[in-house]
């Protein structure tokens, strides 16, 4: 490049002669040729790179396919495969609203993966024992659905000991239901969900049809009945014909007491019972007839015209003994309907109380002849005890308590409970604590003491390893809210050593969370 062209490149002056213009044209021509050569090289390199990338992807796919040959799942015994398949199958108690396409998905899907999986699925009749019928099957799919149902029934018919688990959403198609009903002698569990279709225009007609069909059927193996929503009148006939019934659950059904009274349910043989919306007398009458219960979920409410006096002449405190009950969940809508003092539950290990009276719990515990066997105690929205020392007396009666949940709208009562836990050796086996109430500086001081003492114990029973603290939603801005935030931050900093002893812990104050 000439000195003149260099000068022109570093300035804004135009060429002053034709020779300068010609030199510039010559340089541009040679540069274009060089550029074309470089572009050719780049194109060749890109083609080589694309081929290399393609070979790499093919090699990776080949490696993945060959590694799959050595996958441990190929060596799993058929029994383990079948157990895994049963875990992805819709459980018999699944009442989640599903589309009709997914009703049979789990048992059918595993059979199209490979020959070995199909053989394992076909060799496990239990995979096909959950039979689901809904109202949402399109008419164009009814024939296919009937064929699928026939195949399912055929695959479980050879195993005479296997029971069928039937889930019904509303009133299904007549032909499909008739086919399923012909297998009623094998029904082991029956679950109705009428909640979503009770308001439809065709509901009365379909209920009447369902009544007439179910009333003439027999259910000799039926052990579990679960009902959601308002039920048709044929249900009492089903309950009465289920002579081996062991588990009965009414959910969201305010006429459950009438069903129990009219259906002739063999209450004495029930082991699991869930009944909402009973009056206190009704609840006590039901429990007095169910001596073999293992699990019970019950709620009571004051009924119109109800009077407390008649209960006293039929039931004395502690007169209803349920010797085998392990789990009792009780929800009362009115403390006047509390039934806990009338019960004797010597074997209960999991006790959950909703809106029950703290005094009622204390009276129940103190009435026991021996220390309570309760391992888990949950008190939701419980009313305030009449005296603070009752809480300490309550804890003294729970030597085996491992899990405690306290949900109280009264901050002072919650503080007294924490202080009781920090006094002496109350609840020596306590490992988990969930606390929801008003929080203040005194509350956090009590928690510091609790973690410092119980969190430092050995790895055995009695070491506090799970802690959750929640601030109850405030009804207005409290002057102490800033104190809450400062205390939570202080706990986060000062608990560095102590909370390291805990397996899990959290503070949530007014929708703000801190992991200590």
Give 305's pLDDT tier (boundaries 50, 70, 90).
very low
What is the reported pLDDT for 214? Answer: 67
Q: What is the pLDDT of residues 441-466, one digit of tens each?
A: 777 788 878 877 776 655 555 577 78
For the chain, percent of residues with pLDDT exceeding 90: 12
Asked if residue 15 is part of any domain, the answer here is yes
Q: What is the pLDDT of residues 132-169, one digit of tens each?
A: 777 666 777 778 878 888 888 888 877 766 677 777 66
Asked if residue 328 is part of any domain, the answer here is yes
Q: What is the dihedral of CA 259, 262, 263, 264, to 10 degrees?
A: 130
| Higher-scoring residue by pLDDT: 145, 477 | 145
Domain that includes residue 515, residue range: 402-516
Give ∠ CA 98-100-103 in degrees, rounded to 5. 70
What is the reported pLDDT for 384? Answer: 60
Same domain, 152 and 250: yes
Coil vs helix vs strand at 107: helix
Residue 473: left if φ>0, alpha if ψ -120 to 50, beta else—which one? beta
What is the reported pLDDT for 100? Answer: 42
How far is Cα 516 from Cα 509, in angstroms, rounded to an integer?
A: 13
Give 421's pLDDT tier (boundaries 50, 70, 90).
confident
The tokens for 492 are 């986060």
How far is Cα 299 from Cα 334, in angstroms, rounded to an integer?
A: 10
Coil vs helix vs strand at 197: coil
Same domain, 257 and 281: no
What is the reported pLDDT for 33? Answer: 92
| Higher-scoring residue by pLDDT: 41, 157 | 41
Same domain, 427 and 516: yes
Q: What integer is the mean pLDDT of 24-40?
A: 90
Asked if residue 165 is part of any domain, the answer here is yes
Asked if residue 168 is part of any domain, the answer here is yes
Asked if residue 288 is part of any domain, the answer here is yes
Same domain, 248 and 113: yes
| Higher-scoring residue by pLDDT: 92, 63 | 63
Asked if residue 438 is part of any domain, the answer here is yes
What is the reported pLDDT for 509? Answer: 44
Q: What integer is the mean pLDDT of 170-179?
A: 70
Query: Among 59-73, 99-113, 232-246, 272-286, which is the least confidently predicted range?
Result: 99-113
Q: What are phi and psi of 505, to 5 degrees?
A: -160, 150
Burial class (CB in 10 A: 0-12, 13-18, 19+), 399: middle
Residue with tokens 């039920």: 231
Give 41's pLDDT tier (boundaries 50, 70, 90).
very high
List CB contacts of 298: < 8 A, sequence separation 6 or more: 273, 274, 275, 276, 278, 283, 287, 328, 329, 330, 331, 339
508 sits in which H/E element: strand 504-509
- Residue 301: is its pLDDT beyond 90? no
- Counting the structural domains of the chain, the total is 4
| Higher-scoring residue by pLDDT: 513, 399 | 399
What is the reported pLDDT for 17? Answer: 81
Same domain, 406 and 452: yes
| Higher-scoring residue by pLDDT: 277, 236 | 277
Among the listed residues 244, 237, 250, 249, the one whose alpha carbon sits nearest the alpha carbon of residue 268:
244
Same domain, 82 and 221: yes
The tokens for 32 are 């274009």
Same domain, 501 and 412: yes
Give 43's pLDDT tier (boundaries 50, 70, 90).
very high
Give 256's pLDDT tier (boundaries 50, 70, 90).
low
- Residue 480: is its pLDDT beyond 90? no
Same domain, 60 and 86: no
For the chain, percent of residues with pLDDT exceeding 70: 67
What is the reported pLDDT for 40? Answer: 94
Domain boundary among 70, 85, 101: 70
The strand pairing partners of 513, in sequence order, are 508
Asked if residue 270 is part of any domain, the answer here is no
26 sits in which H/E element: helix 18-69
Mean pLDDT (the chain) is 74
Coil vs helix vs strand at 421: helix
Same domain, 291 and 418: no
Domain boundary among 394, 410, 426: 394
What is the reported pLDDT for 326? Answer: 95
Residue with tokens 């939570």: 488
Same domain, 157 and 237: yes
What is the reported pLDDT for 8? Answer: 76
Same domain, 95 and 223: yes
How far is Cα 444 from Cα 426, in angstroms, rounded to an integer?
A: 19
Provide the whole-model pTM: 0.72
Asked if residue 507 is part of any domain, the answer here is yes
| Higher-scoring residue by pLDDT: 101, 389 | 389
Q: What is the dihedral of CA 317, 323, 329, 334, to 10 degrees?
A: -10
Q: What is the pLDDT of residues 356-394, one digit of tens each?
A: 766 777 777 777 767 778 999 988 876 665 555 666 677
* CA distances to 82, 140, 159, 233, 334 from 164, in Å: 18, 26, 11, 23, 40
DSSP state of 383: B
Domain boundary among 12, 45, 70: 70
Same domain, 94 and 153: yes
Q: What is the pLDDT of residues 396-409, one digit of tens each?
A: 788 888 898 888 76
Q: What integer is the mean pLDDT of 110-124?
A: 87
What is the reported pLDDT for 475? Answer: 38
């Amino acid at each position: 490049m000439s000195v003149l062209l260099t000068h022109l490149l570093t300035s804004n002056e135009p060429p002053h002669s034709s020779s300068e213009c010609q030199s510039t044209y010559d340089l541009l021509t040679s540069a274009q040729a060089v550029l074309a050569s470089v572009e050719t090289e780049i194109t060749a390199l890109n083609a080589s790179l694309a081929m290399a990338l393609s070979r790499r992807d093919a090699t990776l796919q080949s490696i993945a396919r060959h590694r799959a040959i050595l996958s441990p799942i190929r060596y799993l015994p058929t029994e383990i495969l079948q157990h895994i398949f049963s875990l992805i199958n819709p459980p018999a108690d699944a009442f989640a609203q599903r589309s009709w396409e997914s009703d049979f998905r789990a048992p059918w899907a595993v059979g199209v993966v490979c020959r070995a999986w199909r053989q394992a699925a076909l060799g496990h009749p239990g995979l096909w024992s959950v039979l689901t019928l809904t109202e949402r099957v399109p008419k164009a799919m009814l024939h296919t659905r009937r064929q699928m149902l026939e195949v399912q029934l055929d695959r479980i018919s050879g195993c005479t000991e296997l029971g069928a688990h039937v889930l019904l959403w509303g009133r299904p198609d007549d032909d499909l239901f008739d086919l399923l009903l012909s297998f009623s002698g094998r029904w082991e569990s029956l679950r109705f969900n009428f909640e979503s279709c009770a308001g439809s225009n065709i509901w009365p007609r379909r209920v009447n049809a369902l009544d007439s069909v179910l009333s003439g059927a027999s259910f000799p193996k039926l052990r579990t009945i679960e009902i959601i929503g308002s039920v048709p009148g044929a249900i009492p006939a089903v309950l009465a014909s289920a002579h081996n019934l062991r588990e009965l659950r009414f959910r969201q059904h305010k006429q459950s007491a009438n069903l129990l009274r009219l259906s002739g349910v063999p209450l004495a043989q029930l082991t699991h019972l869930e009944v909402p919306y009973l009056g206190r007398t009704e609840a006590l009458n039901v429990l007095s007839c169910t001596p073999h219960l293992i699990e019970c979920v019950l709620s009571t409410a004051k009924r119109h015209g109800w009077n407390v006096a008649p209960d006293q002449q039929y039931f004395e405190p502690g007169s209803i003994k349920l010797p085998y009950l392990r789990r009792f969940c009780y929800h009362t809508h009115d403390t006047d309907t509390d039934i806990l003092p009338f019960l004797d539950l010597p074997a209960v290990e999991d006790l959950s109380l909703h809106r029950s009276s703290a005094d009622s719990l204390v009276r129940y515990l103190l009435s026991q002849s021996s220390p309570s066997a309760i391992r888990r105690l949950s008190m939701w929205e419980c009313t305030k005890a009449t005296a603070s020392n009752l809480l300490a007396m309550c804890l003294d009666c729970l030597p085996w308590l491992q899990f405690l949940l306290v949900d109280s709208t009264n901050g002072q009562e919650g503080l007294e409970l924490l202080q009781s836990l920090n006094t002496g050796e109350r609840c020596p086996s306590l490992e988990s604590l969930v606390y929801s109430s008003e929080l203040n500086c005194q509350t956090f001081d009590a928690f510091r003491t609790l973690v410092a003492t119980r969190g430092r114990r050995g790895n055995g029973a009695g070491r506090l390893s799970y802690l959750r603290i929640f601030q109850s939603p405030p009804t207005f801005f409290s002057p102490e809210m800033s104190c809450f935030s400062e205390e939570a931050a202080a706990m986060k900093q000062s608990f560095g050593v102590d909370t390291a002893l805990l397996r899990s812990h959290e503070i949530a104050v007014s929708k703000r969370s801190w992991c200590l």
